[in-house]
Structure 1
């Protein structure tokens, strides 16, 4: 069976009004189970949009600490199954040994519900320390979020898809990925940037979602000093951003936003 690997599809519907029923179609987001496998063993199964799967594989592998660099993935293959997709990845010899040790640690302890996490202590694994001299004005931040909205091609059609983008003050949005899952969108963005060997210390990650601690962790591993989101953060996300040096801006809508950590990167007057 060949799957539909389009991230959006047309589905029949009936529009109901006060005095009429009108059959028609609506463009909706597709989602399916995506199995992440390393060296023949399943690591996690994610519900995700079937698009940019190579970017997803690389970004997920980096953000979850399975690999340290893109060349730790020797090969990546997308395998279609009747009910979903498998992203079949093979690790370098160097990473295979450490991955096998990690898999042995997973046998027995009760997990805490996060991918690849074998104990509660692992939830707050040490993050890179983010240092950057980047400063941006409030006007530039408002413009960045407007750019994000304009760049959401899939969401304009389906109205149910998250986006994560990387933005630079002098370039605007340089990369964007969309997915039904906010974590997936950010992993896909991380993979796309890593594949291009992009340095992230001179720009910001933009999100259409709330900010949970995993979103801060993934941003830190990308090396981005600013995280800007449309919705609010959690308390743990704020503490994580403060601890690793990320400037966290949230509730960024129109000309206003809220600064939660490291406000020195917001230039209230032109630098």
Structure 2
């Protein structure tokens, strides 16, 4: 396998402690560009960690609102690495059922960085297009949700090695782990999980999504598109995330600093 497709690379580094300089080797998470080409037109460039590429592409076009169902994907091919202006790029060519022009495809110059789930007003409106409130009558115990958050590190081998990766883990109502994905970007990790559910035909109504990252507006919009009723984050959410979770009927919880704060739709938690 080409080194470019590894999830981590080793670099030389130095440390200084009390005037003593030491040389060591440090593993770092790989960051590489992925060019997504939809129906022959460059759509966006994503900075990501090259693992579960097809899952990321499927999740991305789904949460962007470009498709409504996995059946609308005709084909997806991931090309060999190519060089563009001296930069190595992975290309993903995806063919989807389309009833009109695709947003942002005309210029093909949109770049989505790992920290940017929504880049541009057009993309923001597209993500909300056709988005519906989550329907789920399932209820969960807080004890189970705490246990799931405590188990997050079990599913973070890349983070354990590099200290620089996010994880998204999907559990069922019994607390059984179904899927887990890692990436340098929290949005990418979530899209990989969502893409995996599309490929495997996994239902969403009784699932819990645990994310190592912050719950932001775009993370909640992606969660709503997937239909997951509970989102557990390991840090405080943003104000827009809480507002969106309330509107789209998602139970939003943060487990920051060994606490548990439920911001929206507490009825899903047994005892309320």
TM-score (norm 1): 0.88
SS of alignment partner, residue 118 of structure 1: helix
Q: What do residues 96-144 of structure 1 show as CA deviations (whole Å, max 9, x unaligned)?
A: 333x25458x67xxxxx83585276556445222121211112111101
Q: Which runs of 5+ in 1 are unaligned?
A: 108-112
Q: Structure 1: how far apart are the matches of 2:56 and 2:47?
A: 12
CA deviations over 1:210-268 (Å, ceiling 9, x no partner): 111111111111111101101111111111111111111114443x2111110001113
Contact 2:66 2:102 in 1 (8 A): no
Please, which of 96, 99, 117 is the counterpart of residue 98 of structure 2?
96
In the superposition, the TM-score normalised over structure 2's length comes to 0.87
Whether 1:132 and 2:140 are equivalent positions in the alignment is: no
Q: Determine helix, strand or coil for the equivalent of 2:99.
A: helix
* 8 A contact 1:70–1:195 mirrored in 2: yes
Partner of 2:112: none
> Cα offset for 1:172?
2.2
After TM superposition, list the pairs within 5 Å mapping 1:1-271 onto structure 2: 4-79=4-79, 80-82=81-83, 83-91=88-96, 95-98=97-100, 100=101, 102=103, 114-115=118-119, 118=122, 121-122=125-126, 124-254=128-258, 256-268=259-271
Alpha-carbon distance in structure 1 between the residues aligned to 2:11 and 2:223:
35
CA distance in 1, matches of 2:231, 2:104: 32
Of 168-177 and 178-187, deviating more is: 168-177
Could you tell me which runs of 5 or more consecutive residues in structure 2 were left unpaired when the two chains were aligned.
108-115
- In 2, the alpha carbon distance for the partners of 1:174 and 1:121 equals 31
Change (3 A) 1:257 1:54: same
In 2, Cα distance between equivalents of 1:70 and 1:203? 19
